Amino acid sequence: MKQELKAYARSLGLAAVGVSSAEPFWRERQLLLSRQQSGFSPPLSEDEIERRCTPERSLPGARSILAAALSYFTDRGGGEELQLARPPEGVRGGRIARYARGRDYHAELRERLEHLASFLREVFPGARYAIQVDTGPLLDRAVAVRAGLGWYGKNGLVIVPGEGSWVALGEIVTDAPLEPDAPVQDSCGNCRRCLEACPTGALEAPYTVDTKRCVARLSQTRGYIPQEFRVAMGNRLFGCDACQEVCPHNCPREDPDVDLAWVIELGRTPFREAFGESAAAWRGRATMQRNALVALANVTCAEVPFPGRPPVEAEQLLASGLQDDRPVIRGHAAWALGRTGGWNARIALRARLAAEGDPGVQGEIRQAVRKLAREEEGTLGEELGGGTG
């Protein structure tokens, strides 16, 4: 019966399916408590931890868990790729994490699990079940590893043989009796590529992620991005694939950049039309445009083979952000102008400061103005002292 379920799951386009027992995840419970005490994870109540680690809290009488993985390569089960504007030739744009470049994986995977659950009830008449895709309380990665889908990579992601970590995870908790699968052997060996590739050092040690430093999380958190991480975000608009792109178990693939000017100027309706069916839409337009301002400043200042827009054009785009009605946009536009510099940036910042009423934005503007003033003094000093004597 289990083999029939797996065969049907493959026919649905699922990359891998395995079975886990519904015993509590005691080891993961201890890890959650330990990482929370070390400051690596956000605070959780005792009840939240119990719900995450106890399958029976999701379905009383649970006996088994069907764990599933869906590839989010757009040509391998993840749906059609979003049609997003690309930057002009020779101009560097922004990057969106691969999982958010197609239809929202929550919907894609849940649809397949609903079909699989219906088939489960045909095999086990009267079986009860509960479907979870990321938003449920259970620890998806812990379930996947116990069910033999893959092993924990040193970046904390599950690596599925033949698929790598480019997968979305979900599960069906059920009271149907299914024989558990055996775990998969860890094949990371001595490799440390993911740890070395992390732009902010969030991977402080193997299997240990400091979520407060993780760019994937920072790019999705509302409000102000801490200044210490803004340059490290590079040209990332949403999410971060740095630790996955270097993994030898992942298939390489070059995704096209997104035009940063297009993102910055998107209205509400065009944003919904462009991103509405993707996982990138859930934090809204302001978060994406905030990230685009940071990315535009970074690619304008970076020494890369494919530079950003000409400084004057970038400066005009950033200065337009100072007039936005959202404080978080004005604040990050101010920081971005302070990073790119230029006479027009100084004029725009000082003019905005005189009219600005938000304390947070005022602080960002003042810091940007002071930075530009220090740089101007440094340049003048070099010019005055740079003669041959």
Three-state secondary-structure class, residue 273:
helix
Cα separation, 63 vs 80, whole angstroms: 36
Residue 20 structure tokens: 């886990």
Contact 117, 6 (CB under 8 A): no
Which one of 134, 255, 324, 358 is the catalytic residue?
134
Residue 18 structure tokens: 């395995």
Cα separation, 347 vs 322, whole angstroms: 12
DSSP 8-state code for residue 176: S
Q: Judging by beta carbons within 10 Å of its beta carbon (0-12, 13-18, 19+), is residue 299 exposed, middle or buried?
A: buried
| φ/ψ of residue 171, rounded to 5 | -155, 160
To the nearest 10 degrees (0 to 180), the angle between helices 311-321 and 343-355 is: 0
Segment (H or E) for 173: strand 167-174
User: Any bridge partners for residue 21, and if so which?
Assistant: 64
Query: How would you classify the pairing of strands 203-205 and 167-174?
Result: unpaired
Q: Look up 175 and say whether it is catalytic.
A: no
Q: Which residues are catalytically annotated?
A: 134
